Amino acid sequence: MLTFLSHFTGGTVDSTLLLSLAIILCALVLEDLTTVVVGVLAADGFISAPLALLSLYIGIVLGDAVLYSIGSLARNHPRLAQYIDHNFTLSFRSWLEKRYALIIFSSHFVPGLRFTTYAASGFFRYPLSIFIPMAIAGGLLIGTVLFYTSYWFGTFTSEWLGLVRWGIASMFLLTLFFIGRHTLLSYRAEKNGSDAGDDTHE
């Protein structure tokens, strides 16, 4: 088994397994950042592309499950529930229910939205029969696209950009982050304004 794994990864078993485990743990917490970094690492030959993708997939799926579980726990534990903005949560629920499957699938594509929607899914106990396939499909799709984009970028720029490409990759990630944050804050502000208007009319 170890001989096969060593041949599969193209490196030493010990170091490759440690790197694979690190990728899983990092993808569990920071999906987009980890995917971009791992794509460049694979392009540089630190880990094979198949094993890198497999590790990313495992980390992303586990991360989705953890977020759902956090929401579920928050519903039943007062110490966690005190950190929840219940006014926003109720309005967010009405938005979720309109296109639940599509929102769960697409949450991976908007940085910052995944945590909110997946934790809310657990909090409101939406059916796992919808959550699991939609979350996995969205995660694997964006993971694959981001990985191979980063892999191609790392391969193409390895000889003439050197360390500068890490700065470019960082700028790309920051852009994704601010786009996601702006999207979420804009929705929240719009929803709060709408609720305030409804209260005024009443």
Q: Is the Cβ–Cβ distance between 113 and 107 less than 8 Å? A: yes
State what percent of residues in the chain have pLDDT above 90.
24
List of residues 6+ apart from 107 with CB closer than 8 A: 113, 114, 117, 118, 135, 138
Domain ranges of the chain: 2-201
54-86 pLDDT tens trace: 999 999 999 999 999 988 888 777 676 666 666
Q: Which of 8-12, 22-26, 154-158 has the highest mean pLDDT?
A: 22-26
User: Which position has the higher pLDDT, 7 or 176?
Assistant: 176
Residue 164: the pLDDT is: 55
Whether the pTM exceeds 0.85: the reply is no
Instruction: Name the DSSP class of 125.
Output: T
3-state class (DSSP) for residue 85: coil
Strand ranges for 77-175 from DSSP E:
none
Distance of alpha carbon 142 from alpha carbon 157, whole angstroms: 22
For residues 180-187, give the mean pLDDT: 56
As given in the structure block, the two tokens for residue 199 are: 């209260």
Residue 9: the pLDDT is: 46
86-130 pLDDT tens trace: 666 677 788 788 889 999 998 888 777 888 889 889 888 899 999
Q: Which of 10-14, 20-24, 198-202 has the highest mean pLDDT?
A: 20-24
Residue 184 confidence class, pLDDT cut points 50, 70, 90? low
For residues 36-54, give the mean pLDDT: 87
**pLDDT over 50 (residue 139):** yes
Residue 47: the pLDDT is: 87
